[in-house]
Amino acid sequence: MFSKQIDFLAIGDIVTDAFIKLKDAHVTDCIDHRARELCVKFADKIPFESVDVIAAVGNSANAAVSASRLGLSSALVSDLGNDIYGKECLDSLKRDKVGSKYVTAHKGMPTNYHYVLWYDSERTILVKHQDYPRKLPRFPEPKWIYLSSLGGNSEGYHAEIAGYLEKHPGVKLAFQPGTFQMSLGVEKLKAIYARADVFFCNKEEAQRILKTEESDPKRLMEMVRGLGPKIVVVTDGPNGAYAYDGADAFFMPVYPDPKPAYERTGAGDAFASTFTVALALGKSLDEALRWAPINSASVVQDVGAQRGLLSKEKLAEWLAKAPADYKPKKI
């Protein structure tokens, strides 16, 4: 499949998601008002509306599919089990023309399987990452590596990835940290942060990474950029997104939703991967900011993180229909 150079090589865990659509639940604020909680009756039978099982998802797998649909030669480095769910994941990647040569199937181990409690348009995910014996495979030097969510036994694996990047300075890196990567702390991943050409997180994640109460997006981006990334992108859900390249900072509004969001899983992955693909295609920061919210707006119109991902032609159609004020603004 890859007689030519790989444009986009995603590294991260792959999972199967089972979306359980709840109807008898409610959401409440925590006592300290710092978070909201999904509530169902304790010790009771809880009715649900439907279940959608979607294979080959996860931050990095979603990004690899996004890149493939946007026209890049895309591949995934990941680990899974040699069970039926693993086979379904590989079949799904093949359908989306994502190279799976560097996905390792582990005998006697299960494939990651997550349960998504879907209520209204939001989701709460029950996650478990298997402790695979990870080892970075040999692959031809890609143009971009996209690094995202990995499980809790992957600290040494990150050091291996950092070593590869040090030996291959021509490879560009996009880093979208997952929960475990953020919990490791900046110091343990300082080589990754320092090497990143573009870095993605949302506003709350930026505060968590930096261990700060700072809420100004521009200041947060300046602080994250101090860790090493050349371009920092901070998203703020329906409020829009921000980007900073060390010289200029921008605010980008969301793309107007064609209708209310159906299910929001994967909106961040769609944004980050599409932004990265735009850069890989030689687009400017301004153009990348116009592209990224469109795929997010499309993804939330369907269940799961991949069904709504657009082709380059469809993305261009959405862009042509954008309102006049859909453009980055310097801040």
Rama region for 33: left / alpha / beta (φ>0; ψ in -120 to 50; rest): left
For the cut 80, the answer to whether the pLDDT of residue 87 exceeds it is: yes
> What would the pLDDT profile of 232-249 be if each residue is shown by its tens digit?
999 999 999 999 999 999
Percent of the chain with pLDDT over 90: 88
Q: What residue spans define the domains of the chain?
A: 8-330
Residue that wins the pLDDT comparison between 303 and 328: 328
Pairing of strands 48-57, 15-22: antiparallel
pLDDT at residue number 31: 67
What radius of gyration, in Å, describes the C-alpha atoms of the chain?
19
Q: Which fold has domain 8-330?
A: UDP-N-acetylmuramoyl-L-alanine:D-glutamate ligase (3.40.1190)
DSSP state of 142: P
Task: Give residues with Cβ within 8 angstroms of 127, minimum separation 6.
Answer: 15, 114, 179
> What would the pLDDT profile of 195-230 be if each residue is shown by its tens digit?
999 999 999 999 999 999 999 999 999 999 999 999
Structure tokens given for 182: 């953020």
* CA–CA distance, 188 with 165 (Å, rounded to integer): 16
For the cut 90, the answer to whether the pLDDT of residue 134 exceeds it is: yes
In sequence order, what DSSP letters do the residues of 239-280 get, joined into one string? G-EEEE-SS-EEEEPPPPPSS--S--TTHHHHHHHHHHHHHH
pTM of the model: 0.94
